[in-house]
Every structure is written in C-alpha cells, then in structure tokens.
Amino acid sequence: MSATPATPPPPPSPGLGRRERMLLAAVAAALAVLLLWLRGGLHPEASLEALARRSPDFATALNDGRPTVVEFYADWCEACRAMAPAMDTLERQHRADLDVVLLNVDNPRWQGEIERFEVNGIPHLELFDASGQPVGRSLGARRPEELEALTNALLTGTPLPALAGVGAISDLSAPTPATTPTAPSGAPIAPRSHG
C-alpha cells in the first residue's frame, strides 16, 4: 500500500482586517438606529413621554400657586403625539410660571380624575388658575399658537380665547338671585310645565 501524502493544513486566517471591522461597526450602528426608530425613540412621542416623566404630581400642581394645564393623553393617541412638541415647548418656556401635568388615560391611577372631569376623548385639557380652581377646558388637538393663547390667558387671569372646543367652567357655588318664575296662581312653574 502506498501512503497518501497528507494535505497540509490551511494557513491560519488573520483576524478581521480594518475594513471588515469598520463595516461591522457601521452595520451595528445602523441596526441600533433602526431599532431605536422602531421602538419610538426618534418620533415626536418621545417628547410626550419625556414631558410625562417631568410632569409634577397633579395635587401638588393645583396647590403650588401657579396656573396649571392638565392634559389627559394616551401613548397611542396620534393627536396627542402630534401636539407633544408644542406642549413640551410650552412647558419649557413657562416652567417658572405654569405647571403642565400629563395624566395617561390608560393608567388606572387616574380613573377618578377621568370621571371627575368627564374625559371621553383625548387630547383633553383641563385649565386651572393659580388658586387651583378650574377655569376651563379644551377638547381636541391644539396648534402651538392656540396653546400659547390659552397659556397667556391663564397667566394673566384673562378670559380664555374663543376657540372651537374651548369653554369656560361656571362656578356653580356662586350665589344667584332667587328668581323662580310663578304662574298666575302664584305657584312656582316647574321646568317641564311649559307654563
């Protein structure tokens, strides 16, 4: 039998070259950016989340002597996310004079406030004066200039601007003159009597 010559082992492969390492680093960076983008890190909702984290406690905000804007929102709400950069700017510009509080409607912790303020659509803003008394509300998305107008009204104590979906809140505890209409017989007229 003849011996077959053994094949020599292949030469050892050198480690990754500089070009391969650079390409690998570029691919890793691209994947990291893609993952961040897909998880919402590069979208406007990131400022919504940041604003919610910076938001003061609701009860504290109502008692600190500054006007307060409370936004009822949800992470999945497109209008809330679209409005987030303007709300963030508003909070940054007026941080010393105004509280901006975000309450997530998906958090059961805020169920009492959701019911109290009859939140049935978002974004929903509740507006409070410096003494913590409700002065109005705004339903629906707001443009930056509308948010600024609402803020200026709160800061100056002037009436809220006439915008669609914005309304003042009446003080039902204020005394009103007793003017109950009466029928010719002198009996009070009931609301449904058509008298």
pLDDT, position 34: 61
Condensed to tens digits (0 to 9), the pLDDT of residues 83-106 reads: 999 999 999 999 999 999 999 999
Q: Residue 102: enclosing H or E segment and its boundaries?
A: strand 99-104
In the chain the domains, ranked by start, together with CATH numbers, are 46-168 (3.40.30.10)
Nearest Cα residue to 100 out of 53, 166, 42, 46: 53
Q: What is the DSSP letter of 109?
A: G
* pLDDT, mean over the chain: 81
pLDDT, position 164: 85
Mark out the alpha helices in the chain (DSSP H runs).
18-38, 45-54, 58-62, 78-93, 111-116, 144-156
Half-sphere exposure of 71 (CA within 13 A, CB side): 30
DSSP 23-36: HHHHHHHHHHHHHH
User: What does the pLDDT average to over 36-59?
Assistant: 72
Place of tokens 């992470």: 75
Beta bridge partners of 99: 68
What does pTM read for this prediction? Answer: 0.64
Residues forming the active site = 77, 80
Judged by DSSP in three states, 188 sits in strand
Instruction: For the sheet with 134-139, list strands across it.
Output: 99-104, 68-73, 124-128, 134-139, 166-168
3-state helix, strand, coil in the chain (%, to 5): 40, 15, 50
pLDDT, position 99: 96
The answer to whether 166 touches 153, Cβ cutoff 8 Å, is no
pLDDT, position 175: 47
